[in-house]
Structure 1
Amino acid sequence: MKYSYLGRSGLKVSRLCLGTMNFGVDTDEKEAYRIMDAALDAGINFVDTANIYGWGTNSGRTEEIIGRWFAQGGGRRERTVLATKFYGDMHDKNDGPNQGGGLSAYKLRRHLDASLKRLQTDHIELYQMHHVDRHASWDEMWEAYQVPILQGKIGYVGSSNFAGRDLVKAQYEAKSRHQLGLVSEQHKYSLLCRLPELEVLPAAEELGIGVIAWSPLDGGLLGGNALKPIAGSKRASNPERADKHRTQLEAFSSLCKELGESEANVALAWTLTRPAMTAPIIGPRTLEQLESSLRAVDIELNADVLSRLDDIFPGPGGEAPRAYAW
């Protein structure tokens, strides 16, 4: 496994981040344990989750699975850089009118303490805002974050689904308070979703914020099976998305065959070449999927291959403002 600093922090994390969104949903608890054990053995020390995973009235289930895995001991917690997120509705009637999404000081305190309990730990290395909340000011949010940071409950702060302007505002306000601010931004990014290259990636790179790419295979479209009508696959449930990108996906598949690599691993390897990129999130449903993904960190894509990928999956035209003008 290879490692990278998480943004401008001094914390090193694996260049693949284990996503746990499927745990307790499509992946049962026993298989989730096997995946997490194998990930640690392979050198993946970076594990991402969220309080809402499990979804709906089962929100929190994924954190509970991870907590029970930690409780087995064997250095599992000590070897893991744990990241979780808050913002969404936890379907707790005690939240009253604050039951919906938000980043208020009230939600941060309640949801952090609840996550710590489910995860069976006393600290979280990276506590991330899962979405932007236009109703919560940075005065409120940075002050609210400072309390658990000083208590040792939180190591670093991250964001997710923030625009470039949100990253700039967050860091400006943090600097005025002599705080570190954000060390990471978790963002949807892939060969099929290159819009972040306009604003988010340049802002993150300039501000020293590490980017964590979610959905680097674009919901499975870049996984190699999108054009095959496999029962129960994403292709079978939503063929329109695959058909829309058929020409691109066929060209991509041909290129991957030339390289002798799987489509999924080439897509992940491409993500790792991007500016400010710390790690893409892999979301295996099975141990076999995890083991297959490990190859991605060792794939070297030369300039010619990167150029061909640009031809197949054109970006937005460069960074702003050049992409908007000339």
Structure 2
Amino acid sequence: MEYGQLGRTGLQVSKLCLGTMNFGPVTTEEDSYAIMDRAHEVGINFFDTANVYGWKTGEGITEQIIGRWFAKGGGRREKTVIATKLYGSMGDWPNDNLLSALNIRRAADASLKRLQTDYIDIYQAHHVDRNTPFDEFWEAMEVLRQQGKILYVGSSNFAGWHLVKAQEAAKRRNFLGLVSEQSHYNLLTRTVELEVLPAAEDYGIGVIPWSPLASGLLGGVLRKIEKGRSASDHVVARLEKHRDKLEQYEAFCDELGEEPANVGLAWLLHQRAVTAPIIGPRTIEQLDGALRVLEIKLDEKALARLDEIFPGPGGTAPEAYAW
């Protein structure tokens, strides 16, 4: 396994982040334990979750599964950099969601209880809350850090200007500020290259791409369907929209002699500011298959070909659209 620093921090995290969203709704608790154990065996120390995962309001099913796995001992908690998120609704009462100081306090305590730990390594805002000023957000996070309940703060789905506002507000308070940003980023979705990636790079914020394979479209979807694999209506609709690009992509992956999923993940690791894409394996086999990513080195010619197949926004702003 390869490791790198998360943004400008001294925290060392694996170049692949284990996403746990499938734990509970898709993957059984027993299989989730096996996947997490296997992740440690291969050196993955970075796990991501959220209080809403499990998708039963207020239950935090996925966090509970991770907590029971931590409770098995054997250094499981100590070996894990655990990142969780708040924002989504955990009840039907006012202040059971978003980023008010009240919800931050309650949500953090609830996540700590479910995770069966006394601290969260990276506590992330799942989305921006336009109604909560960043001074309130940071004051609440500062209290949690002073109490030893969290170590670092991250964001998810922030625009570039949100990162700037957050960091400048933190700077005024002499606080470390954001150390990570989870963004929707893959070969098919490259809008973050305009503003988010440059802002993250400038402020020393590590980027953690989610949906790195575009809900499976970049995982060899065409060849899988040819072999009889079924696909949801949503995937089929997106497939038809991007069929020409995906045909070129899978053919190019064949030229490289690599699996499409691994090429898509490897491409992300070649991008500026990216720390670790989130992989969400449903099985141990899928986890093991992703390890090949770290061995794939894409040269300038290969990167240029991928840019031809999946044109990005044309670079960073404002050059990408101003001239």
TM tier relative to shorter chain: over 0.9
**Aligned ranges 1:130-169 → 2 under 5 Å:** 130-169=126-165
Tell me the equivalent position of 2:278.
Answer: 281
Q: Does 1:245 align with 2:237?
A: no
Distance 1:178 1:237 in 2: 46
Q: CA RMSD in A?
A: 1.3
**Aligned ranges 1:161-240 → 2 under 5 Å:** 161-226=157-222, 228-229=224-225, 233-234=230-231, 238-240=235-237
Amino acid at match of 2:99: L
Q: CA deviation at 1:20?
A: 0.2
Q: Does 1:76 align with 2:76?
A: yes
**Aligned ranges 1:99-118 → 2 under 5 Å:** 99=96, 101-118=97-114
Q: CA deviation at 1:323?
A: 1.1
**Aligned ranges 1:298-309 → 2 under 5 Å:** 298-309=295-306
Following TM superposition, the consecutive aligned residue runs of length 4 or more in structure 1 with deviations greater than 6 angstroms are none
TM-score normalized with structure 2 length: 0.97
Amino acid at match of 1:239: V
TM-score normalized with structure 1 length: 0.96
Amino acid at match of 1:295: R
Distance 1:32 1:116 in 2: 19
Tell me the equivalent position of 2:44.
Answer: 44
Task: From the superposition, tell whether residues 203 and 155 of structure 1 become closer, same or farther in structure 2 (CA, over 3 Å).
Answer: same
Amino acid at match of 2:121: E
Deviates more, 1:298-307 or 1:221-230: 221-230
Other structure's SS at 2:214 match? coil
8 Å contact kept, 2:190–2:313: yes
8 Å contact kept, 1:228–1:235: no
8 Å contact kept, 2:57–2:89: no
Distance 1:109 1:225 in 2: 42
Other structure's SS at 2:221 match? coil
Question: What are the Cα deviations for residues 19-48 of structure 1, in whole angstroms up to 9, with x where unaligned?
Answer: 000000110001101100000110100000
Amino acid at match of 2:218: L
Task: From the superposition, tell whether residues 231 and 120 of structure 1 become closer, same or farther in structure 2 (CA, over 3 Å).
Answer: farther
Tell me the equivalent position of 2:7.
Answer: 7
8 Å contact kept, 2:217–2:235: no
Question: What are the Cα deviations for residues 65-116 of structure 1, in whole angstroms up to 9, with x where unaligned?
Answer: 000000110100000000000000012x5xx2223x4100011000100000
Unaligned runs of 5+ in 1: none
Distance 1:58 1:38 in 2: 29
Amino acid at match of 2:221: N
Unaligned runs of 5+ in 2: none
Distance 1:36 1:233 in 2: 27
Distance 1:205 1:259 in 2: 30
8 Å contact kept, 1:174–1:180: yes
% identity of equivalent residues: 62
